[in-house]
Amino acid sequence: MAYQQYLLVCGGTACTSGRSLELAENLEKGIAEAGLSDRVQVVRTGCLGFCEKGPIVKVLPEGTFYVCVKPEDADEIVKEHVVKGRVVPRLLYDEKQAKTLVGEENIPFYQKQFRIVLRNCGVIDPEKIEDYIARDGYKALEKVLFEMKPEDVVDEILKSGLRGRGGAGFPTGRKWQFAAAQPKGQKYMVCNADEGDPGAYMDRSTLEGDPHSVLEAMTIAGYAIGASKGFIYIRAEYPLAIHRLEVAIAQAHDLGLLGDDILGSGFSFDIELRFGAGAFVCGEETALLQSIEGNRGMPRPRPPFPAVKGLWGRPTVINNVETLANIPVIIMKGWQWFSNIGTATTKGTKVFALTGKVNNSGLIEVPMGTTLREIIFEIGGGIREGHSFKAAQTGGPSGGIIPPQFLDTPIDYESLAKIGSIMGSGGLIVMDDSDCIVDIAKFYLDFTVDESCGKCAPCRIGGRKLLGLLKKISDGRGELADIDRMKAISQAMCTASLCGLGQTASNPVKSSLNYFMDEYLEHINEHKCRAHKCSKLVSYEIDAEKCKGCTLCARNCPAKAIDGEVRKPHSIDKKKCIKCGLCAAKCKFGAVKIA
């Protein structure tokens, strides 16, 4: 049935937590009551990206883009927009542009984006294979099976310049080439969907919004390297992504796009899901393979590399979700098209989960070479609540802390490495002047220490020693010699750790020491935390002129450190004060301040 109008409702995890499914149901009910079910369809899509403004409803064909839509707004959208053809101004991103039927092309968040990986997210119903096929889905697989030899496919990916988007940036085609060159026999194709960085949700959203793109890519890769079996390793904490993958796999089987003799080509390939328990270390290739085999997820020395000896000792290619989502597009549009996007050394686009102290958080995709300034201040809309930009963290807990002087650094593997950071899988966390760099470094190191498998001493011992020194400094017990100790431990971890977790765990510490030494020295020499985040370096006092003697602070103080009579100024006993900040939070008159 051809519909005249479509209402696309974001069905990603973030928006469903904002009741978008209830919103979709209300829209369907209103459309039915208006007698328009035969010409208006509600489509539950994946993530549209603009998470800050979700839930989102996009109306096609006119392209009207409604933000922060509640289930209670459905009735007005149906009666005004669907029935009468009148825009609902209050639900637009910019109410002043109501007369232009504003779509995302007029919203700054989208204007510098270029979608390859996210091409179908927010456009199709991820649980309907027909929607994917309608947007040229599985055409690349058909082309590969009937028009290309395996070596042609490998050559196409090599020439495209596609590099692995999981962090290290190893050339994808070269990895395929290594596996393809191994003797014929059982080989495996593995999709790494074990996304564990704090603040990262790129792969999850791609799988939720466009699962078939990954299935098609894995099948193409299987054909190229001579594999007949594929596994998607995904953490069990992603129930929606798992559900949509299960639906997609079943649909692909039903249409002969997975399984035996795909499309009558004689090539057979199948895919299974394997669930991880959320261990960050299992994002490392060899630890991931151990987990799939049913063993404890711990890395092993390389070489041999997985492409030579991987899953159950057989040649195995491992690519992450974002890397694979590029494959069908490269096959259909050609390596020349893809290699013209990005920089000389880093081709294509990069998906980021833009989070932190930025006005427009969300999922974005930009050409490689886009600067941090463009991402943070144009796409991201700048820093929240009038604060100033302090730093950005790329690469998650394995990345570096990037200061303001590098805002014009282009995003590519080499440029980030030069300033002490890494691309990583795509988490991009923005910090402002209310953040403490020592506290941030401590947070990331605490995460990696907790996630270390403990197999090698440099990571197991070095990480804890480094974390102990950071805690010592944030508690006001630091000494200048601790700086040299941290540098030495960081270098040892980087040089001697077995896998990428330990080798990169000290990156936040090293980069913060390089660019924010003044804050470390303040903590050590002045026992001062300028952001007031290190509680043991903060003290509270009550302004007698502002204090009304309401006793609210005293009644809420867990340490009973506040004295004073009713309607008279109170005071804080600093010896009893545990510096929890509850008094400042409860005071209605702004009388409690940080000394």
Q: Which of 71, 101, 83 is nearest to 31 (CA)?
A: 83
Residues 444, 446, 448: CA angle, nearest 5 degrees: 70
Q: Is 126 helix (H, G, I), strand (E, B) or coil?
A: coil
Alpha helices in 52-171 (DSSP H): 74-76, 108-111, 129-134, 139-147, 150-160
Inform me whether the pLDDT recorded for 99 exceeds 60: no
Kind and range of the H or E element at 372? helix 372-373
Q: Is 259 helix (H, G, I), strand (E, B) or coil?
A: strand
Q: Which of 435, 441, 574 is nearest to 505 (CA)?
A: 441
Q: Is 256 helix (H, G, I), strand (E, B) or coil?
A: coil
Over residues 290-320, the pLDDT tens digits come to 999 999 999 998 899 999 999 999 999 999 9
- 284 class by beta-carbon count within 10 Å (0-12 exposed, 13-18 middle, 19+ buried): buried
Which pLDDT score, from 0 to 100, does residue 3 have?
A: 86
Inform me whether the pLDDT recorded for 457 exceeds 90: yes
Q: If you average pLDDT over every residue of the chain, what do you get?
A: 94
- The percentage of the chain sitting over the pLDDT mark of 90, rounded to a whole number, equals 88
Which pLDDT score, from 0 to 100, does residue 213 have?
A: 98
Supply φ then ψ for residue 342, to 5 degrees: 100, -150
Cα gap 566→549, rounded to integer Å: 5
Place of tokens 């003797």: 183
Which pLDDT score, from 0 to 100, does residue 580 have?
A: 87
pTM of the entire predicted model: 0.93
- The beta strand positions in 368-509, using DSSP E, are 389-394, 401-402, 427-432
Over residues 147-159, the pLDDT tens digits come to 999 999 999 999 9
Cα gap 280→194, rounded to integer Å: 8
- 4 class by beta-carbon count within 10 Å (0-12 exposed, 13-18 middle, 19+ buried): exposed
Inform me whether the pLDDT recorded for 8 exceeds 80: yes
Over residues 162-174, the pLDDT tens digits come to 999 987 789 999 9
Q: Is 130 helix (H, G, I), strand (E, B) or coil?
A: helix
CB 332 within 8 A of CB 140: yes
Over residues 424-433, the pLDDT tens digits come to 878 899 999 9
Total count of residues recorded for the chain: 595
Inform me whether the pLDDT recorded for 220 exceeds 90: yes
CB 47 within 8 A of CB 16: no
Sorted by where each starts, the structural domains of the chain and their CATH numbers stand as 5-108 (3.40.30.10), 129-339 (3.40.50.11540), 349-432 (3.10.20.600), 437-526 (1.20.1440.230), 539-594 (3.30.70.20)
* Neighbouring C-alpha atoms within 13 Å toward the C-beta of 307: 16
Which pLDDT score, from 0 to 100, does residue 535 have?
A: 86
The b/e string for 421-444 (b: 16+ C-beta within 10 A; e otherwise) is: bbbbbbbbbbbbebbbbbbbbbbb
Residues 207, 213, 218: CA angle, nearest 5 degrees: 100
Q: Which of 274, 299, 296 is nearest to 188 (CA)?
A: 274
Which pLDDT score, from 0 to 100, does residue 197 have?
A: 82
Which pLDDT score, from 0 to 100, does residue 105 have?
A: 80
Which pLDDT score, from 0 to 100, does residue 167 have?
A: 74
Which pLDDT score, from 0 to 100, does residue 100 have?
A: 55
For the chain, how are helix, strand and coil distributed in percent, rounded to 5?
45, 15, 40
CB 114 within 8 A of CB 341: yes
Inform me whether the pLDDT recorded for 223 exceeds 70: yes
Place of tokens 């989960």: 353
Inform me whether the pLDDT recorded for 533 exceeds 70: yes
Inform me whether the pLDDT recorded for 495 exceeds 90: yes
Average of per-residue pLDDT across 205-234: 98
Inform me whether the pLDDT recorded for 98 exceeds 70: no
**Residue-by-residue DSSP string for 447-471:** HHHHH----SHHHHHHHHHHHHHHH
pLDDT class for 199, splitting at 50, 70, 90?
Answer: confident
Which pLDDT score, from 0 to 100, does residue 97 have?
A: 61
Residues 69, 93, 36: CA angle, nearest 5 degrees: 50
* Neighbouring C-alpha atoms within 13 Å toward the C-beta of 239: 3
Cα gap 74→525, rounded to integer Å: 59
